[in-house]
Amino acid sequence: MHTELADSLARIADTCAPPDMPSLSAFVAARHDDWNNPNQEDDWEVSEYGGSDAPSNDDQGGGQGAAEQSEMLDDRFRNFNGTSVATVCAVDCGMATLGSTEHGVVVACRAASTTDAPSGWSGAILARTGPVHLRMCDKARILHRLGADLGEPTFYVTLDGATPVAKSSVAATPKLLADRLRAYVERLMQVHALSQLPFGAVLMLDGAMTTRSRDTPTAWWTSLANTAAERGVSLVAVSKQSEMVISDRPVAFWLEEGQGPGYRCLTHRLRAEQPARADRILGNLYAVRWGASGPALRVDVLAAGGRDDRGALDAVAASVSVRGGMPEPLVRAHALAYIPRPAFQMLQADAVVTCGLDPRQDEQLGPGVYGFSAGRFK
Amino acid sequence: MLIVLSVHGQDVDLAYHPDDVRVDVGDTFTILDLPNRTDGVVAQVIELAALEHDGVKGETIQRILEERMDETHIVYDRERGMGLLRGIKVAHAKVRREVRDGQWQPWTGYVPSRHAAVERVETEDLIRLVAPMPRVPLDPFLRVGHVPFPVGGHELDKITIVAAAKGRGKSHWMKVVTERFARKGVGCIVFDINGEYTGLPAAHVLRWGENFVPRLAQTGPGLLLSVIRSLCPPQPGSPTESLLESRLKTLFRANRDQGDVDLTITWLRGQSWGGAGDLVQRAIDSRLRQIEDAGLFWTSSAPRDAYTDLWVLHEETVKGRPLVFDLSLLESRMQATLVNALIRHIEAICERETRSGRGAYPVCVFEEAHEFLSASAVEKIVGRCRHLGLSQFYISLNPSGIPPFVLRACDNLILLGLTNAEDIRALARTTSLDAESLESLAVRVPAHHALLVGNLTGGYPVLAAVDDLPAGVPRSGVTRSVWDRFDA
């Protein structure tokens, strides 16, 4: 049941595994404070390597007629009004930078999907890569593998004969290469989670559903949308840190006129003001407030399974509780994808053995040496 | 392997993994600065704990979240050793000694760095380095692990406090000690409030009024007066009271001067009380008759095998036979009366042993002394114990009831398991051991073990197992229950 996911992760791990080295790589451990879980935020730079044309929203699944779309895209504020519950699944992926080496960076990823069914059943699927040494000299080979698995082998690289060559500005630094890996692992878990869901379920994603971005081939989004449509699973993508501005107003403030939990569809406005941008979004754009108060969040909705966007949002609101303004499945997925400090420390220790590293002391030169600015060190 | 986690004054924390090394409370380690390993400290583990580290709450929450799911599938997992950190423990230790150029010395405040080698001190080495070499060794009855801990008579001398909760082996300890003393020819005088020591081998068990009827000439007027005050006290300020106190001493002196007449209650009843009216005379006589009828003092009709002579009894202890005064059948006032009077006689024995040069000083054992010893009597014998040569053992399950001067004068503390915080705090005054160590070790004494601190151990707290009683010595004093007969 989970073989494909495991195989994909094993394959990429093997791709990243360095060949036998004549000596150990010098390794400087990172601090757990450097932990980050970057979201796929608004990525407005059209990739120079966009690949195939991005599908337009008209090509998305759902099959609503024009009249229904017009009603659905009305930008009035609406409170949630759902009585129909659904199976809700959320996916998240976190990554910890374990340390830097002379060749690149050592990271570890944890991906998690959590599912809650109306019957009360709950389940989780977890994937943990362990320490992965990403060497810059392997960048092209790794990126080629990532692109291939995401549906577009030459998304990140060009081919010189059979030899992949990384495109300029793709993963220019070890950190950016690690970001690609994290995004990849998250995509794998999203696809896998989708494959486990029943008809009528909702799959919640962390981050925007934006095509023609630098981290995910559009072909992958197309495949995800099609699969979701076939399986009757609605996609609801929540962006926690969107800075999108529409009509001179950030998305976070687009629900000030309304009270309580609710939403507004902003696709119409965005299309009128920034049509190219609107075309990149998979599904429709909403400002959503899940809880009783607080700022709104950007949410991209691609409904399926006999639901429209409103139905998908209402189903989520009716099915899950809200914690800190976020639907709880997302919060839980985030918690399960987090690498706590004890695990972080063990991963660092394991990395030394697994990746053949030679730990070096990292001098903590702080205010005592450089004064309050602390120089270039934190 | 143990690693220094933190050092602060006398406190040292050592981190270790239990799969690699076993650490128990009471274990001793040297912590020697690297690279020379000549200077450092000796630390004793007083407490164990799990390692507290950043993120443990987050990790715990995550584990709970995972486990509360109806189904959790970890489809791919290349994280190894995730449970190792949870298994790490911390041994909290106290510095006991300093090491300078490889030699153990009293601690003067030296602290090792974290760059230090931590090595276990084996039991034999610990005993060799801390325990004084006995000048008069007793047959062994204590073991640290499998290694006998040497106990010497001098080291177990003077004031010893034996404290423990109920059923933790106080009486057992004392029986073992009295038996070992007896082997050396030192018989203890045991004031046995519960009748637990009556089975000691070769002991003279004395019950006042039964087989112990002291001669008034030996006890002096004090004991008789105390008995009168206990059994049939005259009204305070009455002529009877004043006449008894004044006339009794005169009569005792007169009898002594006569030389050939036994001083008995009968004789006293036949004496004139000097100007007392008929009423007072009758009041005194009725009291004397009451005491005579109680049979507490020697008369010509006393059983022939009754013990009467305290000096003779003392000579028995010099041969190594314990004296057990069984106080269990006496009511509390009479217990106090007898013991306080005997203490005066014991002091006289000590004075005589000093004058004669023999030095066969008694060893007294008081179980719950505060119940029958007056504070002034205790203070006197404790304060003068070194002058008198009188060794004393105070056994108690209520250490907070032990008089403060006893606690301050304590030479050896024997703890067999205490949980009461107030009792433990009271005992903190007895030794130079820090309160935290005492509190921590006292509640962790295993069964059949004792925590020893004092001259016996060179001031080093030692956890030792106490041997069984020799075969044939009854285990009287063991807690009995009506339900024991139903045990399979």
Tell me the C-alpha distance between A314 and A308, whole Å: 10
Tell me the C-alpha distance between B160 and B394, whole Å: 6
Query: What are residue B53's phi and psi, to 5 degrees?
Result: -145, 160
- Report CA torsion sign: A374, A378, B3, B4: positive
Report chain B's mean pLDDT, rounded to a whole number. 87
Structure token digits, residue A349: 């220790």
Which of A22-36, A49-63, B467-481 is predicted with the least confidence, judged by mean pLDDT?
A: A49-63
Structure token digits, residue B152: 């010497």
% of chain A at pLDDT higher than 70: 81
In B, minimum Cα distance to A119 occurs at B70
End-to-end CA gap in chain A: 45
Report chain A's mean pLDDT, rounded to a whole number. 81
Helix (H, G, I), strand (E, B) or coil at A204: strand
Cβ contact B58–A341 (<8 Å): yes
Residue A45 has pLDDT above 60, yes or no: no
CB B100 within 8 A of CB B39: yes
Cβ contact B71–A123 (<8 Å): yes
Choice between B336 and B454, residue whose per-residue pLDDT is larger: B454
Radius of gyration of chain B (CA): 30
Residue A199 has pLDDT above 60, yes or no: yes
**pLDDT attached to residue A83:** 78
**pLDDT attached to residue B126:** 94
Residue A67 has pLDDT above 70, yes or no: no
Structure token digits, residue A71: 């009603």
- pLDDT tens for each residue of B116-129: 999 999 999 999 99
**pLDDT attached to residue B86:** 77
Please give, rounded to a whole number of angstroms, the shortest distance from the CA of A44 to a CA of chain B.
Answer: 33
Bridging pattern class, strands B89-100 and B40-50: antiparallel
Which of B79-88, B209-218, B474-483 is predicted with the least confidence, judged by mean pLDDT?
A: B474-483
Least Cα distance to B331 among B227, B476, B198, B213 occurs for B227
Tell me the C-alpha distance between B96 and B98, whole Å: 7
Give, to the nearest 10 degrees, the angle between helix A328-337 and helix B56-68. Answer: 120
Which of A47-61, A285-299, B27-41 is predicted with the least confidence, judged by mean pLDDT?
A: A47-61
Q: Where are the beta strands (DSSP E) in B327-434?
A: 363-367, 391-396, 412-415
Residue A216 has pLDDT above 80, yes or no: yes
Picking from A10, A122, A128, the nearest residue to B69 by CB comes out as A122
Choice between A378 and A7, residue whose per-residue pLDDT is larger: A7
Cβ contact B81–A108 (<8 Å): no
Tell me the C-alpha distance between A261 and B267, whole Å: 108
Structure token digits, residue B448: 């059949």
- Report CA torsion sign: A210, A216, A218, A221: negative
Cβ contact B85–A127 (<8 Å): no
Residue B274 has pLDDT above 80, yes or no: no
Structure token digits, residue A375: 């120089």
Tell me the C-alpha distance between A308 and A203, whole Å: 14
A56 touches chain B (CB under 8 A): no
Please give, rounded to a whole number of angstroms, the shortest distance from the CA of B124 to a CA of chain A.
Answer: 38
**pLDDT attached to residue A364:** 52
Choice between A55 and B470, residue whose per-residue pLDDT is larger: B470
**pLDDT attached to residue B149:** 95
Highest mean pLDDT among A14-28, A52-66, B272-286, B338-352: B338-352
**pLDDT attached to residue A111:** 94
* Helix runs in A213-308, H state only: 218-231, 267-273, 275-280
Choice between A151 and A39, residue whose per-residue pLDDT is larger: A151
Q: Which element (helix H / strand E) includes B452?
A: strand B449-454
Please give, rounded to a whole number of angstroms, the shortest distance from the CA of B21 to a CA of chain A.
Answer: 20
Chain B residues with CB within 8 Å of chain A CB: 53-56, 58-59, 61-62, 65-66, 68-82, 84-86
**pLDDT attached to residue B153:** 92
Taking CA atoms, A17 is separated from A11, A94, A178, B430, B443, in Å, by 10, 20, 14, 65, 54
A13 touches chain B (CB under 8 A): yes
Picking from B61, B78, B81, the nearest residue to A335 by CB comes out as B61
Residue B238 has pLDDT above 50, yes or no: yes
Picking from B55, B65, B77, the nearest residue to A341 by CB comes out as B55
Least Cα distance to B201 among B178, B173, B169 occurs for B178
Rounded to two decimals, the ipTM of the complex is 0.78
- Report CA torsion sign: B166, B171, B174, B176: negative
* Helix runs in B202-331, H state only: 216-219, 221-231, 239-258, 265-269, 278-294, 310-318
Kindly report the number of other CB atoms within 10 A of residue A71's CB atom: 12
Choice between A222 and B201, residue whose per-residue pLDDT is larger: A222
In A, minimum Cα distance to B78 occurs at A130
Interface test mutation site (partner A, options B3, B69, B84, max chain A beta carbons within 10 A): B69
CB B93 within 8 A of CB B13: yes
Residue A14 has pLDDT above 70, yes or no: yes
- pLDDT tens for each residue of B396-426: 888 888 888 888 889 999 999 888 888 888 8
Tell me the C-alpha distance between B444 and B419, whole Å: 9
Residue B460 has pLDDT above 50, yes or no: yes
Cβ contact B85–A345 (<8 Å): yes
**pLDDT attached to residue A59:** 36
Q: Where are the beta strands (DSSP E) in B296-371?
A: 323-326, 363-367
Picking from B54, B70, B79, the nearest residue to A347 by CB comes out as B79
Residue B147 has pLDDT above 90, yes or no: yes
Least Cα distance to B254 among B279, B272, B237, B238 occurs for B272
Picking from A123, A124, A350, the nearest residue to B81 by CB comes out as A350
**pLDDT attached to residue B393:** 94
Kindly report the number of other CB atoms within 10 A of residue A243's CB atom: 12
Q: What is the pLDDT confidence band of residue A23, given thresholds at 50, 70 and 90?
A: low
Q: Is the peptide bond before B35 cis (omega within 30 degrees of 0)?
A: yes
Helix (H, G, I), strand (E, B) or coil at A138: helix
Taking CA atoms, B486 is separated from B167, B481, B482, B483, in Å, by 20, 10, 8, 6
CB proximity under 8 Å: A 338-377 to B: 338, 340-347, 349-350, 354
Cβ contact B80–A130 (<8 Å): yes
Choice between A20 and B331, residue whose per-residue pLDDT is larger: B331
Cβ contact B84–A335 (<8 Å): no
Residues of A in contact with B67 (CB under 8 A): none
Q: Report CA dihedral (A76, A82, A88, A93) to the nearest 10 degrees.
A: 30
Tell me the C-alpha distance between B171 and B367, whole Å: 9
CB proximity under 8 Å: A 304-333 to B: 332
Residue B412 class from Cβ within 10 Å (0-12 exposed, 13-18 middle, 19+ buried)? buried
- pLDDT tens for each residue of A330-342: 999 998 999 988 8
Radius of gyration of chain A (CA): 22
Taking CA atoms, B369 is separated from A325, B290, B388, B395, B453, in Å, by 70, 28, 19, 8, 21
Please give, rounded to a whole number of angstroms, the shortest distance from the CA of A10 to a CA of chain B.
Answer: 8
CB B337 within 8 A of CB B227: yes
- pLDDT tens for each residue of B151-195: 999 999 899 999 988 888 888 898 899 989 988 888 889 998 888
Q: What is the pLDDT confidence band of residue B31, given thresholds at 50, 70 and 90?
A: very high
**pLDDT attached to residue A8:** 82
**pLDDT attached to residue B276:** 59
CA atoms in the 13 A half-sphere facing the CB of A273: 11
- Assessment of whether the complete model's pTM goes beyond 0.80: no
Taking CA atoms, A352 is separated from A21, A25, A27, A101, A356, in Å, by 14, 9, 8, 11, 6
Cβ contact B65–A335 (<8 Å): yes
- pLDDT tens for each residue of A225-272: 999 999 999 999 999 888 888 889 888 888 888 888 999 999 999 999
Q: What is the pLDDT confidence band of residue B217, given thresholds at 50, 70 and 90?
A: confident
Structure token digits, residue A36: 């980050």
Taking CA atoms, A26 is separated from A33, A101, A241, B310, in Å, by 21, 5, 36, 87
User: Chains A and B: how many Cβ contacts under 8 Å?
Assistant: 102
Please give, rounded to a whole number of angstroms, the shortest distance from the CA of B79 to a CA of chain A.
Answer: 4
Least Cα distance to A154 among A54, A53, A51 occurs for A51
Helix (H, G, I), strand (E, B) or coil at A173: coil
Picking from A124, A129, A332, the nearest residue to B78 by CB comes out as A129
- Report CA torsion sign: A161, A164, A170, A173: negative
A127 touches chain B (CB under 8 A): yes
